[in-house]
Amino acid sequence: MTPFGRRLRELRRERGVTMKEMAAALRVTPAYLSALEHGRRGKPSWRLVQAIIGYFNVIWDEAEELERLARISHPRVVIDTAGLAPQATEAANRLAEEISDMSSAEIAKLLALLDGRKRRRGT
């Protein structure tokens, strides 16, 4: 499941909406919506994200959060390390090898490291 898929499922459940109802309203198939929630589809298009925001009538921070989650929810990531230091290539490859065996706590530590880096840059 992707971060976007998890939040989408939460929104549906919070509002008591079935996948079939939501799919019909968004003019997609329930199978597509299910695949999106479970991370078997790539990140959703900007247009679909906007339709979901409208469907759930979310505004401001919550809408921005859905857009952010959509951007970081591609289940098959490619990291281009061409032109970077050899350590960058090693880090990307080792992460690809190890991530499936990492615990939630280990992944949380990596995310905290990245979040701290982002805060220091002010972005």
Secondary structure string (H, E, C) spanning the chain: CCHHHHHHHHHHHHHCCCHHHHHHHHCCCHHHHHHHHHCCCCCCCHHHHHHHHHHHCCCHHHHHHHHHHHHCCCCCCCCCCCCCCHHHHHHHHHHHHHHHHCCHHHHHHHHHHHHHHHHHHCC
> What pLDDT does residue 53 have?
97
Q: Rounded mean pLDDT of the chain?
A: 93
Domains and CATH numbers, the chain: 3-71 (1.10.260.40), 86-121 (no CATH)
In the predicted model, what is the mean pLDDT of residues 66-75? 91
Q: How confident is the model at residue 118 (pLDDT cuts 50, 70, 90)?
A: confident
pLDDT tens readout for residues 15-44: 999 999 999 999 999 999 999 999 898 889
pTM, full prediction: 0.74
